Structure 1
Amino acid sequence: MKVLVIRFSSIGDIVLTTPVMRCLKQQRPDITVHYLTKKSFRGLIDTNPYVDKVHLLNDENWEAMIAELQAEKFDLIVDLHKNLRTLRVKRALRKVKSVSFSKLNFEKWLLTSFLKINKMPPVHIVDRLVDTVRHLGVVNDGKGLDYFIPEKDEVNAADLPMSHQAGYIGVVIGAALATKKMPVEKLKALCASIQKPIVLMGGPEDRPEGEEIASIDRVKIYNACGKFNLNESACLVRNAKLIVTHDTGLMHIAAAFKKPVISIWGNTVPAFGMTPYFGNAAVPSAIFEVEGLGCRPCSKIGYKKCPKGHFKCMNNQNVTAIATAAEKGLHL
């Protein structure tokens, strides 16, 4: 049986699909798993031993992509993205049976609208993703998420300053949208309060803010933002003692490595079912959010700036409590 799994983006969402491939391959050895994603996210799938072949979304030459997929003669499409593009793919492969992941968009609308009615099921998104293939006799194995770092992207301790080679706390300062991350002044206050070596993590776009934060104490704080590719950053996450992060892809990568995680939530909420997922493993973690705000959650994804202007969901975060939790290693 040949199965095509579809998830185009993004980093965290793709990592959250990894239990589906693992459970398919381990529980149904007769199944060959193919994965369709965007070219920019190929590195997340290429090294996954539970994926037999990767296909890339090609909007510029749609016909060629569809011809490639048709030639594979799939028996089943597992749509874990469910948008207009995946609908086009399924229509083009109309003879192939398909199953789709329920995104619960109506329930999310109820929660993010002015109504603020929470009808989200108390079930993690990973469990809902795996349920998509339950009809194949596949169940969640409870092993959590997967992330595989190729040997060429391994980061050695010598690649970090001497002050950080014995251990560090990773602080992820970036996020896809501004309303999912704390303002730089709050991040500076947080890092100033943590009296342990810190590695700042993020992309090239986060490097200027990283420099501003690191200027507090360049011995204690190392700005790794933009210096490492995604797999190398994942290696930094794996080697950290603990990760402090916003609702980001690196949060899910940290969970894949069973790292203690302190997650900080702004306009999004844990009720969406996308908290750090450890499966059956007992990994210490803590969630920090500003409760009691009538405007929160304002979006299931985020905005470039706070719609209300006050940004209380991040400006009112208890930096002292977050730093204390990090200092104590979540009371490990």
Structure 2
Amino acid sequence: MTKPVTPTAPAKDWKKKRRFRQAFARMLQKVGKRSARHADFDGRLESVAILAQEKLGDAILLTPLIGNLRRAFPELSIHVIVFSKAVFDFFSSDRNVTAVHNAKRATPGYIRDVLLHRFDLLYNTKDHPSTHFLIQSILIPARIKAGIANPFHEGLYDQLLDITYHTHIVTKNCALLGLLGIDAPPETCRPYIPEMRVQPELQSFADSMPDRKFIGINISAGGPLRYWTEEKWSALIDRFPDRQFIIFSAPQDRATKLRLETRTNVRPSVSTRNIYEVGLLVRKLRLLVTPDTSLIHVASCFAVPLIGLYREALQDLTRFAPYITDHTLIASPTRKVCDIYVDDVARAVEARLDVRQEI
């Protein structure tokens, strides 16, 4: 007889949190009910409040919606409601955004500018029940409230956009444009990175890089299951002794970056301090190899070819895939990126180099 598998503690915690969110959403559906109309938006559009998701990659994938809104409505007041400092800093640099507000800081300014202000339109970008997002959806006054269709969103929004779960997040965010009668072909939905402060030494390094000569390697990731190992990165670099590489890393992985930069075919690079600086280097690459993290979407901003290393997780491979840029995705046979074989990545690099000939 097979012994049943006992769920791990993290899995139990995740299921417990999901049950809580669903129960909380059911309660809100009773106390904050609105009549879903499922009709086209009509009337004036002078102000919009957008609830932005918490991670930096999510912020990049939200920029196509914001850029298209600004082009369609040059005088529109666009307010982005955020739930993390990283996303606050990102949109604070975006000239397309009128104001950024941190929902987790109920300051007098937030109360005055958001909770006591009536918007023409509010948009919740999440397609699943989120406690913070649902609370803000109810608290923030708006003539029309829109969200993604989900059983736990029913009754809380005037407009529910029916989009399948595995649709790319860019397409999902930009679904609001259809509600407003805005035609947005895929190329108009390319993500962008707002201009930020640049270190002089970083700018000099970027200016010194020849276009389309370097292969970029990003060794950092958003969680332990998404990391490839230092040994495998080393082996990959050694497979291409005649190619030049540069290494990207988060601050916590700088020691690994420095060790990899001792190789003769790796050019030591200035450590970046923000995602805009990362973009200055990525845009000049011939190819980027990276785990599933925000650099996937940085490459999409500049149509840089890339190889993405993903876990065995369908939603990562669909919802958060590279957007309108040449790419190869390599999925691990397990839930860990570190189980991807060096041979598989090397073959993908060779194929990409053959496709894009030397300039």
2:231 is the alignment partner of 1:205: no
**In the alignment, structure 1 residue 75 sits paired with structure 2 residue 75:** no
- 1:319 and 2:345 matched: yes
Distance 1:288 1:154 in 2: 36
Structure ID, larger Rg: 2
Alignment of 1:144-159 (within 5 A): 144-150=190-196, 152=198, 158-159=204-205
SS in structure 2 of the partner of residue 132 of structure 1: helix
2:77 maps to which residue? 32
Q: Secondary structure of 2:48's partner?
A: strand
CA distance in structure 2 between the aligned counterparts of 1:168 and 1:243, rounded to whole angstroms: 9
Alpha-carbon shift at residue 43 of structure 1 (Å): 3.4
Distance 1:86 1:200 in 2: 36
Relative to structure 1, the CA distance from residue 8 to residue 232 in structure 2 (aligned partners, 3 Å threshold; closer, same or farther) is same
In 1, Cα distance between the equivalents of 2:275 and 2:259?
22
Unpaired stretches in structure 1, ≥5 consecutive residues:
106-119, 299-305
For residues 111-150 of structure 1, what are the structure 2 equivalents within 5 Å? 123-142=167-186, 143=188, 144-150=190-196
Structural mapping, 1:211-222, within 5 Å: 211-215=258-262, 217=263, 219-222=264-267
Task: Give the CA deviation at 1:315.
Answer: 4.4
Q: 1:128 to 1:96 in 2, by over 3 A?
A: same
Question: Where does 1:11-26 land on structure 2 (aligned, <5 Å)?
Answer: 11-26=56-71
Amino acid across the alignment from 2:257:
G
Contact 1:214 1:223 in 2 (8 A): yes
Classify the secondary structure of the residue corresponding to 1:328. Answer: helix
Residue 56 (structure 1) aligns with: 102
Shift of 1:104: 10
User: Is 2:122 aligned against 1:87?
Assistant: no
Q: Is the 8 A contact 1:124 1:274 kept in 2?
A: yes
In structure 2, runs of 5+ residues without a counterpart are 1-45, 153-163
Residue type of the partner of 2:224? A
- 8 Å Cα contact 2:307-2:329 kept in structure 1: yes
CA contact (8 A) 1:11 1:41 kept: yes
Asked whether 1:242 is paired with 2:287, we answer yes
Alignment partner, residue 188 of structure 1: 234
The alpha-carbon distance between structure 1 residues 312 and 209, as it changes in their structure 2 partners (threshold 3 A), is: closer
What displacement does 1:312 show?
7.0
Residue 313 (structure 1) shift: 4.2
Structure 1 position 153, deviation (Å)? 5.3
Residue identity matched to 1:205: Q
* Matched residues, number: 295
Equivalent residue of 1:139, what SS?
A: coil
Deviations 1:45-70 (A, max 9, x none): 233332222222334x3665233313
* Maintained 8 Å contact 1:243/1:259: yes
Among residues 297, 306, 314, which one is paired with 1:252 in the alignment? 297
Q: Is the 8 A contact 2:78 2:99 kept in 1?
A: yes
Check 1:206–1:89 CA distance in 2 against 1; reply closer, same or farther (3 A cut).
same
Task: State the 1:87 CA deviation.
Answer: 1.3
Q: What is the root-mean-square deviation of aligned Cα atoms in Å?
A: 3.2
Would you say 1:285 and 2:327 are equivalent positions?
A: yes
For 1:30 and 1:157, the matched residues in 2 are separated by 33
Report the TM-score when normalising by structure 2.
0.71
- Tell me, in whole angstroms, the C-alpha distance in 2 between the residues paired with 1:15 and 1:104: 27
Percentage identity across paired residues of the two chains: 18
Which one has more relative contact order, counting CA pairs under 8 Å at least 6 apart? 1
The 8 Å contact of residues 244 and 261 in structure 1, kept in 2 or not, is answered as yes
Q: Indicate the SS of the match to 1:145.
A: coil
Contact 2:310 2:317 in 1 (8 A): no
Q: Answer whether contact 2:56 2:86 (CA < 8 A) is retained.
A: no
Amino acid at match of 1:214: E
User: Which secondary structure state, in structure 2, belongs to the residue aligned with residue 90 of structure 1?
Assistant: helix
What secondary structure does 1:231 align onto?
helix
Equivalent residues of 2:206, 2:280 under 8 A apart: no
Secondary structure of 2:104's aligned partner: coil
With over 3 angstroms needed to count, the CA separation of the structure-2 counterparts of 1:62 and 1:90, relative to structure 1, is farther
TM-score normalised per structure 1: 0.76
SS at match of 1:34: strand
Following TM superposition, by how much is the alpha carbon of 1:135 offset from its aligned partner in structure 2, in angstroms? 1.6
1:275 Cα deviation after fit: 1.1
Secondary structure (helix, strand or coil) at the match of 2:247 reads strand
Q: Distance in 1 between matches of 2:258 and 2:151?
A: 39
Q: Distance in 2 between matches of 1:127 and 1:100?
A: 14
Q: In structure 1, what is the equivalent of residue 87 of structure 2?
A: 41
